Copies of this chain bind each other. A is one copy, B any other.
Amino acid sequence: MAEADTRTRILEAARRLFHEQGYGATGVATILREAGVHPGSLYHFFRSKEELLAGLLEYYPSLFAPIVSRPIEAAEKEAVERVFALLAFYRKGLEESGCRLGCPIGNLALEVSDNHPEVRPLLERNFAMWSGTVAGWLARARLRRGTDLDRLARFVLAVMEGAVMQARGAGSLAPFDAAVAELRRHFDLLQERAGASRARRRKR
């Protein structure tokens, strides 16, 4: 692991700290210390803490494929199961942290979208990438006729975020598991009479 360049070190420190403490609760000084960087350097790359936030939201999409979607796609071939593997990924994060942290993008969406509206398009871009990936997977699933895949993917994202939120509030995985179980039921219903005759492209 070569010494990352300064800009990336700053982004990585910000990513971790914003995830752990939130945007407002993270001081620039802490980011500097964790990144091993001087104030002037940070402000050389980012004009303000707010632009660092924007930079981070532009950086996140580059992490999604290598860390999240590609491993899932490699491990799981069946479309609907990929969706639940994705939810399991977030469950694991909650479990390992004692129902802390949650979804970094979701956290920022609630914390900063009102006070820093410039970042809204970047938040949306992250949500769109997430739900777009899910929709892409589901294109290969056999679901009831009339299913709107983009809408369904947005729904999955909503369930995930709302489930994570309840788990963090409760300090327990129970509400997360409840929401996911009900989502599973929704998929069961969508698949129930889906393709009596449809040919399956792949098997696993």
Contacts and interface: CB of A to CB of B under 8 A. Distances in A.
Contacts of A113: 99-100, 168-169, 171
Number of identical protomers: 4
A31 interface: no
A166 to B, nearest CB: 6
Interface in A156-204: 157-163, 165-166, 168-172, 175, 178-179, 181-183, 186, 189-190
A120 B182 contact: no
Contact of A189 (B154, B170, B186): B186
A25 B24 contact: yes
A51 interface: no
Main secondary structure, interface of A, reads: helix
A146 B25 CA distance: 44
Contacts of A50: none
Given A114-B20, A114-B168, A117-B171, A182 B163 contact: no
A127 B158 contact: no
Interface stretch (A4-12, A58-66, A67-75, A103-111): A103-111
Nearest to A188: B189
A95 interface: no
A170 B123 contact: yes
A76 interface: no
Contact of A158 (B114, B159, B189): B159
Given A150-B178, A182-B155, A168 B24 contact: no
Contacts of A168: 109-110, 113-114
18 contacts: A20-B114, A22-B115, A100-B113, A101-B114, A106-B165, A109-B165, A110-B111, A117-B171, A120-B169, A120-B170, A124-B171, A152-B182, A154-B178, A154-B179, A157-B179, A159-B162, A161-B166, A162-B162
